[in-house]
Amino acid sequence: MTVTPTGTHISGVLHERRRFEPPEQFAARARLHAEQLAALHERARQDYLGFWRELAVSQLNWHKPFSITLDEREAPNYRWFCDGELNVSHECLDVQIIAGRGEKAAIRFEAETGEVRRISYRELYLQVCQLANALKSLGVRAGDRVVIYLPLVPEAIVAMQACARIGAIHSVVFGGFSALALRERIADAGACLVITADGGRRAGQIVQLKAAVDSALAERCESVRNVIVLRHAGNPIPMQADRDLWWQPLCEAQSPRCEPQWVPAEHPLFLLHTSGSTGRPKGIQHSSAGYLLNVKLTCQWVFDLREEDVFWCTADVGWVTGHSYVCYGPLANGATIVMYEGAPTYPDGGRFWKICQDHGVTILYTAPTAIRALMRLGDEIPARYDLSSLRLLGSVGEPINPEAWMWYHRVIGGGRCPIVDTWWQTETGAIMISPVPGVTATKPGSCTLPLPGVFADILDEAGEPVRRPEAGGYLVITKPWPSLARTIWGDNERYLNTYWRRFDGRCYLAGDGAYRDQDGYFWIVGRIDDVLNVSGHRLGTMEIESALVAHVRVAEAAVVGRPHEIKGEGILAFVVCRGARPGDADVDAIAQELRDWVAAQLSPIARPDEIRFADALPKTRSGKIMRRLLRAIGRNEPLTQDVSTLENPGIVAQLRGERAAGTP
pLDDT for 625 beyond 90: no
> Does pTM surpass 0.75?
yes
Look at residue 582 in the predicted model and tell me its pLDDT: 84
Segment among 222-226, 280-284, 339-343, 504-508 with least mean pLDDT: 280-284
Look at residue 653 in the predicted model and tell me its pLDDT: 75
| 3 state DSSP class of 497 | helix
252 burial (CB, 10 Å; 0-12 / 13-18 / 19+) is exposed
Query: How much of the chain, in percent, has pLDDT values that exceed 70?
Result: 92
pLDDT for 178 beyond 90: no
Look at residue 9 in the predicted model and tell me its pLDDT: 55
> In 355-393, which positions are buried (b, 16+ CB within 10 angstroms) versus exposed (e)?
bbbebbbbbbbbbbbbbbbbbbeeeebbeebebebbbbb
Condensed to tens digits (0 to 9), the pLDDT of residues 38-65 reads: 999 999 999 999 999 999 999 999 999 9
Condensed to tens digits (0 to 9), the pLDDT of residues 555-607 reads: 989 998 888 766 667 899 999 998 878 887 888 999 999 999 988 877 777 88
Look at residue 640 in the predicted model and tell me its pLDDT: 63
Specify the DSSP class assigned to residue 218.
T
pLDDT for 7 beyond 50: no
Query: Within its chain, how far is the Cα of 54 from the centroid?
Result: 28
**pLDDT mean over 421-445:** 97
In 10 A of CB 318, how many CB atoms?
A: 26
Where would I find the beta strands (DSSP E) of 21-135?
70-71, 79-80, 85-86, 105-111, 116-120
HEC profile for 189-211? HCCCEEEEECCEEECCEEECHHH
DSSP calls for 371-415:
HHHHHTT-STTGGGS--TT--EEEE-SSPPPHHHHHHIIIIISTT
pLDDT for 68 beyond 80: yes
Condensed to tens digits (0 to 9), the pLDDT of residues 446-472 reads: 999 999 999 999 999 999 999 998 888
pLDDT for 160 beyond 50: yes
Look at residue 4 in the predicted model and tell me its pLDDT: 36
Question: How far apart are alpha carbons 264 and 66 in whole angstroms?
Answer: 10
Look at residue 15 in the predicted model and tell me its pLDDT: 64
pLDDT for 129 beyond 70: yes
Question: How far apart are alpha carbons 331 and 91 in whole angstroms?
Answer: 8
When computed from its CA atoms, the radius of gyration of the chain, rounded to whole angstroms, is 24
At 139, give phi and psi (nearest 5°). Answer: 90, 10
Look at residue 586 in the predicted model and tell me its pLDDT: 87
Look at residue 642 in the predicted model and tell me its pLDDT: 64
Segment among 96-110, 427-441, 500-514, 516-530 with least mean pLDDT: 516-530
The DSSP H or E segment spanning 283 is: strand 283-286
Question: How far apart are alpha carbons 413 and 401 in whole angstroms?
Answer: 17
Condensed to tens digits (0 to 9), the pLDDT of residues 264-320 reads: 999 999 999 985 434 567 999 999 999 999 999 999 999 999 999 999 999 999 999
Segment among 5-19, 428-442, 512-526 with least mean pLDDT: 5-19
Question: How far apart are alpha carbons 330 and 377 in whole angstroms?
Answer: 31
Segment among 159-163, 369-373, 436-440 with least mean pLDDT: 369-373
pLDDT band at 520 (very low <50, low <70, confident <90, very high): very high
Specify the DSSP class assigned to residue 137.
H
Look at residue 644 in the predicted model and tell me its pLDDT: 63
Look at residue 550 in the predicted model and tell me its pLDDT: 87
pLDDT band at 146 (very low <50, low <70, confident <90, very high): very high
Please give the residue that has the higher pLDDT: either 548 or 653: 548
Look at residue 5 in the predicted model and tell me its pLDDT: 35
Domains detected in the chain: 551-657 (3.30.300.30)
**What sign for the dihedral angle of Cα 72, 78, 81, 83?**
negative
Please give the residue that has the higher pLDDT: either 118 or 615: 118
Please give the residue that has the higher pLDDT: either 345 or 434: 434
Most confident of 246-250, 514-518, 615-619: 246-250
The DSSP H or E segment spanning 172 is: strand 169-172
Please give the residue that has the higher pLDDT: either 102 or 4: 102
Question: How far apart are alpha carbons 545 and 627 in whole angstroms?
Answer: 13
Selection from 150, 590, 516, 166 nearest residue 341 by Cα: 150
Condensed to tens digits (0 to 9), the pLDDT of residues 220-246 reads: 899 999 999 999 999 999 999 999 999
**pLDDT mean over 13-33:** 88
Average pLDDT, the chain: 91
pLDDT for 114 beyond 50: yes
Strand partners, 564: 568
At 165, give phi and psi (nearest 5°). Answer: -65, -35
pLDDT band at 399 (very low <50, low <70, confident <90, very high): confident
